[in-house]
């Protein structure tokens, strides 16, 4: 079953023309990043009940092999992170809807309060070409998006960003059942 889902997701992504590039090397539509004085209410390790990651085109779920260690690591990184103000560019025209997980891995934190928070490298789409437009996924280097409920904050958190983007998280996780 997973093979069919993954194969379907790969076919879907191939039809989108999505490519990954670093925002520092892109054209006129760039994110604007500056320091912020507003520190979000990041959860402490005692506030995290469970961690999971969704990754890949089919958004396959992963769970940590050693949950307490991963929870402590993530809590430490986000506590040390610096808040950023990020203005993402708006594409002209209707919003882009992608029916696959075209972005980088996303961390889901189930909190003891019952809320769910997410952490993911900050990404956005730009478009190149007029006749046959190609959507390009841009990343904001070293910045992760922290979301809880309807609130979104940006954190400069190089260790967490690198851990997710380089795939190092895979050594600490296994596919969820």
Rounded Cα distance, 46 and 104, in Å: 27
pLDDT tens-digit readout, 96-150: 777 788 889 999 999 999 999 999 999 988 877 777 778 788 899 999 999 999 9
**Joined tokens for residue 137:** 């996924």
Handedness of CA 25, 161, 107, 140 (dihedral sign): negative
Q: Which of 36-45, 77-86, 96-105, 166-175 has the lowest mean pLDDT?
A: 96-105
Q: Give me the pLDDT at residue 28, please.
A: 56
- pTM (predicted TM-score): 0.80
Bridge partners, 110 (sequence order): 50, 116
Angle at 40 between CA 98 and CA 106, to 5 degrees: 30
């Amino acid at each position: 079953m997973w093979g069919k889902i993954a194969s379907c997701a790969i076919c879907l992504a191939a039809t989108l023309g999505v490519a990954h590039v670093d925002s520092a090397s892109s054209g006129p539509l760039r994110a604007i990043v500056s320091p912020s004085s507003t520190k979000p209410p990041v959860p402490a390790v005692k506030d995290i009940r469970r961690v999971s990651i969704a990754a890949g085109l089919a958004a396959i779920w992963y769970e940590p092999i050693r949950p307490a260690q991963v929870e402590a690591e993530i809590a430490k990184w986000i506590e040390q992170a610096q808040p950023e103000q990020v203005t993402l560019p708006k594409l002209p025209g209707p919003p882009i809807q992608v029916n696959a997980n075209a972005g980088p891995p996303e961390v889901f934190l189930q909190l003891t309060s019952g809320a769910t928070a997410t952490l993911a490298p900050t990404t956005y789409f730009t478009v190149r070409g007029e006749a046959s437009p190609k959507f390009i996924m841009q990343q904001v280097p070293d910045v992760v998006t922290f979301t809880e409920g309807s609130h979104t904050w940006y954190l400069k958190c190089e260790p967490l960003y690198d851990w997710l983007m380089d795939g190092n998280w895979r050594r600490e996780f296994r596919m969820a059942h």
